[in-house]
Structure 1
């Protein structure tokens, strides 16, 4: 990846709806080579998709909870079973395996506390869950920042 590829990525992170012509102008390329570079970045898995950034409050998901989960085993079968079940939970919008006291940190979005109670029960029923700690976000200071290329 060179400087032009990095510039393409920066611009697409700022506005994923740029047309190829607009993008090409912004990175000082003609449209054909620009499109080839974008296609290569997609094929190499550098660009993994495009999507809209949605205001959670405006669509009724005003609560964000960070949930730390500890498993009862660290064997590969236990983590695989947990992860395979977890990805099916729609309200869990991100999951990270972490170091420290817990094994995973989940980001959960819900409409209200009653909705979180339902999601919490779903998480409790996942295979190999030993302990759960919930941290309710009071306010979002920074979210969805671009990767600093």
Structure 2
């Protein structure tokens, strides 16, 4: 666990139980691939960790609820919890998949029906037209 974590912050007392280096307020400064994978699994499990419900029951579903103003039928759809929703991305992923997309094409993809978490930490310049979609589709197809 992160030695300089501020466990007086309400989120830290819960997120700290994941054993990850996710530190408030942004919950990201010291996160490594293992930490992000734990966080993704935590979301995939609906906010539970080691059998304990750390987020309010149904909160991850709320995060995945489409935010009406985000799409308007013209592109990606976002959830209320700052997540990208697969059904608006034309990605070929199962419709319940959701993603957290980071800087330089780093991504976490969560597919609850498959109990699958995909983490890509590679750094790819954004100006070259790279898409994670073919990689994600190949992993999902191989996982069947």
Is TM-score (shorter-chain normalized) higher than 0.5?
no
Bucket of the pairwise TM-score, normalised by the shorter protein? under 0.3
Q: Higher strand proportion, which one?
A: 1
Instruction: Give the TM-score, by structure 1 length.
Output: 0.22
Which structure is higher in RCO with an 8 Å CA cutoff and minimum separation 6? 1
TM-score normalised according to structure 2 size: 0.23
